[in-house]
Amino acid sequence: MANIFNFDDEFKLGIKAADIEHGQLVDMLNRTYELLKDGNREEARNYFNKTLSAYVHEHFRNEEAFLKSIGFPELEEHKVIHANFRKSVEELSLRIENADDVAFRQGLADTFTWIINHIGKTDKKYAIYYHKNRGK
């Protein structure tokens, strides 16, 4: 089946750990849509909820540690953006746990937007900084 989302080169940062974790988020979204398409709504909802919650904790922690290690000057702003999304995911997650389908749809839409706007634009800023300063 065709993926709902392809992890094209435009989303890649050329930083291995980040690209792997970002790719995992895209895979998660594709898997969720696959389950939905097959009519496994409850499984899709539970899988999405569990995986997205883990992602916003693990990936954000790893990425912030990396940004600190390279001395990225906009780390604090980046952390605020992560914290806001994490908070919104945590709120949605509680509702999704209670089989709230509106929250589930909202979570799917927010994740889709997150990939395009955050991974595709905001994360790209640190990648540019990293590649420019590497080896100096």
Distances (CA, A) of 133 to 1, 71, 75, 78, 130: 41, 10, 15, 19, 5
Residue 121 beta carbon to Fe ion: minimum distance, rounded to whole angstroms: 10
Give the residue, chosen from 123, 125, 132, 134, that forms a contact with Fe ion under the rule CB under 5 A. 123
Neighbouring C-beta atoms of residue 74, cutoff 10 Å: 13
Assess 7 for contact with Fe ion (CB under 5 A).
Answer: no
Residue 37 beta carbon to Fe ion: minimum distance, rounded to whole angstroms: 27
Long-range contacts of 75-82 (CB under 8 A, 24+ apart): 78/122, 78/126, 81/118, 81/122, 82/56
Select from 8-16, 26-34, 58-66, 102-110 the region that touches Fe ion (CB under 5 A): 58-66
Select from 28-36, 46-54, 93-101, 116-124 the region that touches Fe ion (CB under 5 A): 116-124
Cα gap 113→123, rounded to integer Å: 14
Nearer to Fe ion, 63 or 96 (CB): 63
Give contact residues for Fe ion (rule: CB under 5 A). 63, 123
